[in-house]
Amino acid sequence: MSEKTKIITSKMRELRLEVSITLVLVAIFLLFIIGNPQTFTKFDIYYSFMSTIPFSGILALTLTFVIIIGEIDLSFPSILGFSAWVFSKIVELTGNIWLATLLCLITGVASGYLNALIVVKIGIPSLVATIGTQFFFRGLVNVAAQGLGITLVPVKDTFLFKVFVGRIAGLIPAQVIWMVVLAFIFGLLLKRHKFGTHVLFIGDNKESARMMGIRVDRVKTTVFMMMGGFAALSGILSSLEVTYFWPTLGQGYLMRTLAAVFVGGTSVFGGMGTIYGTFIGTLIIGSLEAGIIAIGLTGFWTQLIYGLIIIVAITIYTILMRKE
């Protein structure tokens, strides 16, 4: 098979994957609309989705790079929580939201670098390493916060608050704009920039990528630092949305974020995935719980249907990927 044919085949596979995930989203929302038209034909439910989904959506978009490169990060909810504590504490002590944002993002990037140091330099498998750092960063939050929350009401009238979680025309939450813009940038980065090409090559075959002159360790380190930095950003957004920091912030994001990435078609083995797929996967996972309750089922059905959708979606993608 020629190189040109391989490229065409790869693009066709990717197109089939993106079309299939879009059809899954359409089918789910049609079911919700039929099951409860009064709720799903009004703006209120979509306003709620736009207010809440971006927090895990930003995490999922960034995690896509980690999974594609053949690694895993389970520590990002704890990094989110610890970075958000740094943000909130600086706001409490100084009242300066700009300084708080800067130190929060630095904390997130530094936390990602610690993960990279353990995985890339020391050589501990990322699954094991990030289980450890997950407990470590969550422990830091608990020790630092001592179970106490921090109010963020004093910064509610600041310019940066409006940039992060303000309402555009009183209708569109700013955090959904952040998510959409990041999805666009990450999509270009993955498919149109050499960094994304290097990520895909490393995920497909690390040793071949090294032989091609790709700096594997540097790329992996960058990806882990990205994960930490954008976990910190998500922590800022989620804490500002409710104008309060809780020590439990970030808990509950892990499985939903992983589910969004895998439902979006990113291969668990690395080397393949799309930002568009993750974006749609985030919409599916983020809307399920509200949709399930709205159509009359109890919340007990949520995890069952999560699991069913993940299994069905991944099965469909696997079958599609086998077809040449």
Domains observed in the chain: 3-322 (1.10.3470)
State the average pLDDT over residues 227-242.
97
Q: Where are the alpha helices (DSSP H) in 69-125?
A: 76-94, 97-116
Summarised one tens digit per residue, pLDDT across range 141-167 is 999 999 899 999 999 999 999 999 999
> Residue 244, exposed/middle/buried by CB under 10 A (0-12, 13-18, 19+)?
middle
What does the pLDDT read at residue 8? 63
Q: What is the pTM of this model?
A: 0.93
Residue 242 has pLDDT above 90, yes or no: yes
> Residue 157, exposed/middle/buried by CB under 10 A (0-12, 13-18, 19+)?
exposed
- Is the model more confident about 256 or about 14? 256
What does the pLDDT read at residue 98? 97
What does the pLDDT read at residue 136? 97
Summarised one tens digit per residue, pLDDT across range 47-79 is 999 999 999 999 999 999 999 999 999 999 999
What does the pLDDT read at residue 107? 97
The CA distance from 135 to 40, in Å, is 39
Residue 291 has pLDDT above 90, yes or no: no
Of 271, 237, 275, 3, the residue nearest 104 (C-alpha): 237
Summarised one tens digit per residue, pLDDT across range 165-212 is 999 988 999 999 999 999 999 999 999 899 999 999 999 888 888 988
State the average pLDDT over residues 29-42.
90
Of 239, 261, 241, 259, the residue nearest 302 (C-alpha): 259
Of 85, 71, 83, the residue nearest 116 (C-alpha): 71
The CA distance from 210 to 201, in Å, is 9
Confidence of residue 320 (pLDDT cuts 50, 70, 90): low
